[in-house]
A and B are shown apart, each in its own frame.
Chain A
Amino acid sequence: RKEVEQDPGPFNVPEGATVAFNCTYSNSASQSFFWYRQDCRKEPKLLMSVYSSGNEDGRFTAQLNRASQYISLLIRDSKLSDSATYLCAVNKDSGAGSYQLTFGKGTKLSVIP
């Protein structure tokens, strides 16, 4: 099993739709989780961290399910500008108090007019 797995998509959704992405991870000891957004020909940038209790930022909601070892990202009322690739990142203890982040391959979202 890969350390971090995502459905590559693409997800093609109409404007205004709600879309959800999942990201599964294999290391049960992981403590930190993130969602990144990557626009075409740009570098990934942090979209939001994922907290244990779940968190919301406008139209975006992130959740963590430790029992099933996955995180999710929900986008409500999709906009054309949401079209991008969404990557999840999960940390693991790499020893001596340091942590290594592992990224998924990303899920491509296309919002269609």
Chain B
Amino acid sequence: GAGVSQSPSNKVTEKGKDVELRCDPISGHTALYWYRQSLGQGLEFLIYFQGNSAPDKSGLPSDRFSAERTGGSVSTLTIQRTQQEDSAVYLCASHRIYMNTEAFFGQGTRLTVV
């Protein structure tokens, strides 16, 4: 009965480096989302997975951002050539396929680009 797990919880990286963030959803949850949240701001949608496919990736801010999901489970969000404006908390959420199902969030990865 573990919840959504994200790693690392904190990441400090130098500008220009690539980073990989990981999300382990609740077992059996076919839907998975990535969001970005800057300090004091609202959730910014990045990408939605249904199984291993991403029918909605409209929120990815640039081609430096990519995400994949394998085995209908773990997802990784990759940011290439990080910029200072990428600094934010990256949240992952998952839910079951059914209509009236709530989403559960992980605790997020706090990314700081210096």
Interface, chain A (partner B; CB < 8 A) = 8, 31-32, 34, 42-46, 49, 85, 87, 89, 91, 94-106
Contacts and interface: CB of A to CB of B under 8 A. Distances in A.
Main secondary structure on A side of the interface with B: strand
Given A8-B42, A98-B30, A100-B56, A49 B100 contact: yes
Interface stretch (B17-25, B71-79, B80-88, B105-113): B105-113
Interface of B: 30-31, 33, 35, 41-43, 45, 48, 50, 55-56, 91, 93, 95, 97-108
Contacts of B55: 94-95, 100
Given A99-B97, A101-B31, A101-B93, 7 more contacts: A34-B103, A43-B105, A46-B103, A87-B43, A89-B103, A103-B35, A104-B42
Nearest to B106: A43
A100 B93 CA distance: 11
Contacts, number: 65
A34 B103 CA distance: 9
Q: Give the 4 A-B CB pairs with smallest separation, nearest first.
A: A105-B42, A43-B105, A46-B102, A32-B100
A32 B50 contact: no
A101 B102 CA distance: 9
Contacts of A43: 91, 105-108
A98 B56 CA distance: 13
A34 to B, nearest CB: 6
